[in-house]
Structure 1
Amino acid sequence: MEIILQPWPWYVTGPLITFVMLLLFYFGKSFGMSSNLRTLCSIGGAGKYADFFKFDWKAQRWNLVVVLGAILGGFIAVNFLSDGSNIALSPETINDLETMGFHNAGAAILPPEIYDWSAVFTVKGMSVLIIAGFLVGFGTRYAGGCTSGHAISGLSNLQKPSLVAVIGFFIGGLIMTHFILPLIFKAS
């Protein structure tokens, strides 16, 4: 018997996310990846250098399971639940990416033009990583959380600041996709 591997449909994943959110709500917890990064920095001793990292990280140990789950889940998905086929992209998207210098769009989850070590260790690659890392870190701190925290946890708790943050994330994503990314990755 041949097993056909497909992404889980929304009517399976949506209720699973809802179930997790209900469990977190029941136990008085909130979800977000940036809080895990803060916890990891605190464990590493960042509290010696910045007051932001001075908090009882042991109370957040439960949330580190999210990091472990993301790592294990990604490994399982790629190695055991993926059939290795190309990502389904529209022909227009493939053409747009090819004009920016991305070849074989959809063949890999992470395009080698950005994530291959030979691309990372260039002036352009390092500049993109450093600037993007700063902007993500600043934006996460300024918005009081990350996309997963606001979009999943904050919106499910009907928090108005999360709605504003998610709208800002989408606007920023659109600006990046349609204006900044084409400037950075012009085909030579």
Structure 2
Amino acid sequence: MGNEPPELVQKRLWVQGRKFRYEVNRLRLPNGVEGEWDCVRHPGGALAVPITPEGQLVLVRQYRFAAQGRLLEFPAGTVEGGEDPLTTIQRELQEETGYRAHTWRSLGEFFLAPGYSDEVIYAYLATDLAPLAHPPDQDADEDIAVVLLSPQALQAAIDRGEGVDAKTIASFFLARRFWGGADFKER
């Protein structure tokens, strides 16, 4: 068997939600076997690893219905139709945390859960932070608290399994690699 893709036999849309859609696809594999695969189609998300000049990480503690609790996360948001992911996260950082970053660096992109979703996260390092003079009001459907943590405190929370989501964990380790270590202090 080579690298040829499976053949799409049938696509059925089951649910069209506010931010994503759920499909069931019937595929014929290169070996002739047919089966059904479920997929959540998502426009993608953008995430910032914001670091203050003092080396503190800016996170949010946000209520997540699917997890039935509050998770510790880096600020993130859904990429709106046709929007550049950097534009998305620049807006989201301000809306969710009340900070603006003057320097942005791409950390790369990754699939969040490719076993059932095509969602890609575009991760950025956000530095040269400054608080906004007049932070915008949060969206009415968000329950968010801003949290400043040292990299060591976030690492400890991850090690203890304390409600830190996967995109935050992955981006934390990408940022450490790009930033050049664990202390995250401005150079």
Relative to the length of structure 1, the TM-score reads 0.20
Q: Which structure dedicates a bigger proportion of its chain to strand?
A: 2
Relative to the length of structure 2, the TM-score reads 0.21
